[in-house]
């Protein structure tokens, strides 16, 4: 009997037309077709979705957590990148 | 008992017994993902059985409820095909059994959409969507097991060889069917055979599997003559109603 583990897949579900796919979790499957099938059973049981994407987890390239400071720290001091310095004219609601 | 009542029971019993069989795997599936997939299919089948028993209770007209019909008949009164009562065996056996059944059921429900009986047509419409997914799932697995490793190929081929004797019974018809076919209520099962052979052969070829030749054909379930396995299924299925009559929860 083979003891080889099936690869891991990341699952993305779009909940309705017009919204984007969101990462909902991961699962094991022998190939892409079965990964979609398993995702349907695991993640759309309660009508959560109308579209499923799967990506083999090993295909996801992520940043090195050790680089977090150089990557993300600098933006914290750039408050002018947030549009918070405008005076909202009278009569404009729901901004 | 009228023909329509008997006819509904045949469809309902197939769903109930296979659903019960699959539910034995809850918590015992080969991996968590497949465990949930098989349990989903079991629930779909038991849901289909529920709709059918509820309709049978109305048609039967003897004041019996759907639960009475599902839980309080004796073994010889169940009219499911022998295929669905066969043990789960290894995963190859579970998948091969499911795949034979799904291949038949997709064609059956598709034909039943045209039934002149509004209730049966409505049940078929709801069930067909579920069944198409079951078929896709079992077909995908059959191909992967058949065209997988030497061991998976041998195991699923062994399952096909064993179960093939029970496949013909899916097309069993007698006087229950004939009258209803004339009225446009029942599906003429003989008309599905060509499509069934084509549908199954295509998947078998992809799976690099072959049907056994000269196989013995076993029938009996449709008239209440079962293999030794059904009694064991019923002892578990009926336990609560037998031990605590009329219990509800």
Please name each of the domains of chain A with its CATH number.
Answer: 8-61 (3.10.20.520)
What average pLDDT does this structure show over B30-36?
A: 91
Domain CATH code at residue B168? 1.20.1260.10
- Say yes or no: A38 contacts chain B, CB-CB below 8 A: yes
The Cα of A46 is separated from the nearest Cα of chain B by a number of Å equal to 12
Please say if the pLDDT value at position A95 is more than 70.
no
Please say whether the beta carbons of B140 and B37 come within 8 A.
no
Yes or no, beta carbons of B144 and A30 under 8 Å apart: yes
Q: What is the pLDDT of residue A64?
A: 93
For residue B14, the enclosing domain spans 3-211+219-243
Whole-angstrom distance, CA of residue A70 vs CA of residue A50:
39
Please say whether the beta carbons of B5 and B64 come within 8 A.
no
What average pLDDT does this structure show over B244-249?
A: 84
Output the CA angle B41-B11-B193, nearest 5 degrees: 95
Whole-angstrom distance, CA of residue B139 vs CA of residue B158:
17
Confidence of residue A78 (pLDDT cuts 50, 70, 90): confident
Q: Please give the C-alpha separations between residue B233 and each of B29, B80, B86, B210, in angstroms, as whole numbers.
A: 19, 12, 10, 30
Question: Which residues from chain A sit within 8 angstroms of residue B36, using beta carbons?
Answer: 38, 41-42
Residue A37 burial (10 A CB sphere; 0-12, 13-18, 19+): buried
Please say if the pLDDT value at position A2 is more than 70.
no
| Whole-complex ipTM | 0.74
Question: How high does pLDDT run on average in chain A?
Answer: 89
- For residue B248, tell me if it sits in a domain: no
- For residue B171, tell me if it sits in a domain: yes
What average pLDDT does this structure show over A86-90?
A: 83
Q: What is the pLDDT of residue A3?
A: 65
Please say if the pLDDT value at position B107 is more than 90.
yes
Whole-angstrom distance, CA of residue B180 vs CA of residue B186:
5
Yes or no, beta carbons of A6 and B31 under 8 Å apart: yes
Please say if the pLDDT value at position B184 is more than 80.
yes
Q: What is the pLDDT of residue B248?
A: 80
Residue B109 burial (CB count, 10 A): 24
Q: What is the pLDDT of residue A77?
A: 85
Q: What is the pLDDT of residue A7?
A: 95
Question: Which residues from chain A sit within 8 angstroms of residue B32, using beta carbons?
Answer: 28
- For residue B164, tell me if it sits in a domain: yes
- For residue B40, tell me if it sits in a domain: yes
Question: Which residues from chain B sit within 8 angstroms of residue A41, using beta carbons?
Answer: 33, 36-37, 40
Q: What is the pLDDT of residue B30?
A: 87
Distance, CA of B240 to chain centre? 23
Tens of pLDDT, residues B126-154: 999 999 999 999 999 999 999 999 999 99
What average pLDDT does this structure show over B16-28?
A: 96
Yes or no, beta carbons of A29 and B33 under 8 Å apart: yes
Tens of pLDDT, residues B188-240: 999 999 999 999 999 999 999 999 987 789 999 999 999 999 999 999 999 99
Q: What is the pLDDT of residue A85?
A: 79
Please say if the pLDDT value at position B68 is more than 80.
yes
Q: What is the pLDDT of residue B74?
A: 96
Please say if the pLDDT value at position A4 is more than 80.
no
Tens of pLDDT, residues A12-54: 999 988 899 999 999 999 999 999 999 999 999 888 899 999 9
What average pLDDT does this structure show over B19-26?
A: 96
- Say yes or no: A52 contacts chain B, CB-CB below 8 A: no
How many domains does chain B divide into? Answer: 1
In the DSSP assignment, the letter for residue B103 is H
Q: In the sheet that A22-28 helps form, which strands lie side by side, from edge to edge? A: A22-28, A8-14, A51-56
- For residue B10, tell me if it sits in a domain: yes
| DSSP-derived 3-state class of residue B63 | coil
Confidence of residue A1 (pLDDT cuts 50, 70, 90): low
């Amino acid at each position: 009997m083979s003891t080889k583990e099936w690869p891991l897949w990341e699952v993305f579900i779009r909940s309705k037309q017009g919204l984007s796919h969101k990462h909902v979790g991961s699962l094991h499957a022998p190939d892409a077709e079965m990964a979609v099938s398993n995702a349907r059973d695991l993640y759309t049981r309660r009508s959560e979705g109308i579209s499923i994407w799967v990506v083999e987890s090993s295909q996801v390239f992520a940043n090195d957590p050790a680089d977090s400071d150089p990557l993300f720290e600098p933006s914290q001091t750039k408050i002018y990148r947030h549009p918070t310095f405008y005076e909202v004219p009278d009569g404009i609601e729901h901004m | 008992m009228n023909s329509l009542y008997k006819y509904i029971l045949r469809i309902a019993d197939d769903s109930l017994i296979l659903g019960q069989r699959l539910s034995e795997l809850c918590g015992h599936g080969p991996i968590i993902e497949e465990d949930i997939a098989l349990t989903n299919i079991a629930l779909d089948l038991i849901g289909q059985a529920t709709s059918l028993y509820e309709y049978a209770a109305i048609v039967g007209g003897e004041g019996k409820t759907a639960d009475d019909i599902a839980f309080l008949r004796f073994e010889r009164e169940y009219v499911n095909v022998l295929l669905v009562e066969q043990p789960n065996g290894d995963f190859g056996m579970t998948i091969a059994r499911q795949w034979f059944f799904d291949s038949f059921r997709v064609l059956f429900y598709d034909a039943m959409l045209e039934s002149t009986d509004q209730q049966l047509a409505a049940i078929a419409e709801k069930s067909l969507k579920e069944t198409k997914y079951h078929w896709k799932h079992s077909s995908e697995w059959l191909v992967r097991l058949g065209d997988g490793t030497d061991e998976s190929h041998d195991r699923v081929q062994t399952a096909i060889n064993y179960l093939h004797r029970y496949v013909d019974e899916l097309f069993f018809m007698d006087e229950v069917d004939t009258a209803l076919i004339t009225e446009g209520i029942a599906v003429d099962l003989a008309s599905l055979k060509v499509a069934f052979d084509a549908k199954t052969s295509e998947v078998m070829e992809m799976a690099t599997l072959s049907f056994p030749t000269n196989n013995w054909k076993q029938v009996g379930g449709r008239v209440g003559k079962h293999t030794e396995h059904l009694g064991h299924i019923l002892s578990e299925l009926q336990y609560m109603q037998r031990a605590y009559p009329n219990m509800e929860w």
